[in-house]
Structure 1
């Protein structure tokens, strides 16, 4: 399914990071190996938000440097397999994304679906689990933070929210972050569980690797029109990095200022 020139699906950035945060970016890249013939899509669709989360990897890398965090990410398009979905989910290998039909994902046999799971999902899950297990064995604390971006307009409807702080049943880290946005002069419209929530099936990584391991966890969604330039990415990283750092400080008392220079607090 992958040529010998293709990279493994699981990639790590800042592998020797010493911070308490482990960053995950499941929709980092739009790459589709040539053997899949672009899943029958036109080039504009392959580079649109249906194939990846624009700006999310760059933001994740900036945060990794700020927080001295390890970052793991998926090297292939979520259209091949969405690593934030379990194999039983229909949206793991979507036949349609928003208004785009995906011919290469239609009428797959059970064997073809199994191959996608084994080639894309399993290596990613094993890689992330291995990082977490190594940290556990070394006695390191871990807060799991997943980074995503979303489109400003969805099915013709504009989205006002600029940053979403998402959680499933474990809301500890999300609450600690949102306390700051409620009390400080925030630079972005930041809401809880928007534009998606657990009912939309977007918290698989949080549940599988965070909640089941008893780890603090949160998912961050950023509107992708705020991640188009390096200046925008740096500003968003400073905002989020400050929120995350403050939320993880022991015995924190609110409110606390956010470091807008991009440095650690």
Structure 2
């Protein structure tokens, strides 16, 4: 483990699981100026993603790369010039400690090492496939009227090959699946745009509803449902 990421080696299959928002960790020398309780909410971490990623790595025999810091420290799933890279507001909560933070320092410390590690792992694979795993909250604190009833969302930008395989399989498994929901991968796909689409590497982007993976039983259930779908996508596309 480094400050930027945790690498889990589950085996030698040419499949990389990438989890940009898997951690709520804030280094001791960074003060975000927020209540500690906020680090347990979706604004800080994609709940359940680290656990499901780890289960999938063991199930499929592949490598997982988990982000090492909270998205409130730096959002690893943003382009290098994106406004939300260093958030000062998130879902109605102010992050005052980021107002005068040194963005360049955080890029050097966390962002660049994380993305470099992804590139190195992919370069070492003969026929790589990527799973980008995230989770979403059933409602937004800043917009509670907006309901998000899907169990799982599939996101993509230009490359929807894996999405077209995965969506019917997940529906057959009994899940309510959102195609480009709860938001569009054409807007929020920075890590996969950089490492997958720009290099012609097939990938699957999954968003799990957080309340379904908030405990061990839910995490095991989703991992058991996603694993065969992921393996089928890889088998058909590489």
**TM-score, normalising length: structure 1:** 0.84
The answer as to 2:23 corresponding to 1:34 is: no
What is aligned with 1:262? none
Q: 1:242 to 1:130 in 2, by over 3 A?
A: same
Q: Which one has the largest radius of gyration?
A: 1
Distance in 2 (alpha carbons) for counterparts of 1:132 and 1:199: 23
Which of 73, 83, 87 in structure 2 is aligned with 1:80? 73
Which of 119, 128, 133 in structure 2 is aligned with 1:129? 119
The answer as to 2:213 corresponding to 1:227 is: yes
**TM-score, normalising length: structure 2:** 0.93
C-alpha displacement of 1:78: 0.8
C-alpha displacement of 1:250: 4.1
Distance in 2 (alpha carbons) for counterparts of 1:8 and 1:239: 31
1:7-156 map, 5 Å: 7-14=2-9, 17-37=11-31, 39-108=32-101, 112-135=102-125, 140-154=126-140, 155-156=143-144
Gaps of 5+ in 2: none
| SS in structure 2 of the partner of residue 124 of structure 1 | helix
Distance in 2 (alpha carbons) for counterparts of 1:126 and 1:11: 13
Which of 168, 173, 179 in structure 2 is aligned with 1:179? 168
Aligned length: 234
| SS in structure 1 of the partner of residue 162 of structure 2 | helix
The answer as to 2:183 corresponding to 1:196 is: yes
Distance in 2 (alpha carbons) for counterparts of 1:199 and 1:214: 16
Distance in 2 (alpha carbons) for counterparts of 1:72 and 1:199: 23
C-alpha displacement of 1:7: 3.7
| SS in structure 1 of the partner of residue 17 of structure 2 | strand
C-alpha displacement of 1:43: 1.3
What is aligned with 1:240? 226
Gaps of 5+ in 1: 1-5, 252-265
Distance in 2 (alpha carbons) for counterparts of 1:128 and 1:7: 14
Q: Is the 8 A contact 2:19 2:133 kept in 1?
A: yes
Q: 1:31 to 1:250 in 2, by over 3 A?
A: closer
C-alpha displacement of 1:246: 2.2
Distance in 1 (alpha carbons) for counterparts of 2:94 and 2:124: 41
Distance in 1 (alpha carbons) for counterparts of 2:5 and 2:23: 11
Q: Is the 8 A contact 2:153 2:177 kept in 1?
A: yes
| SS in structure 1 of the partner of residue 134 of structure 2 | strand
Q: 1:40 to 1:250 in 2, by over 3 A?
A: closer
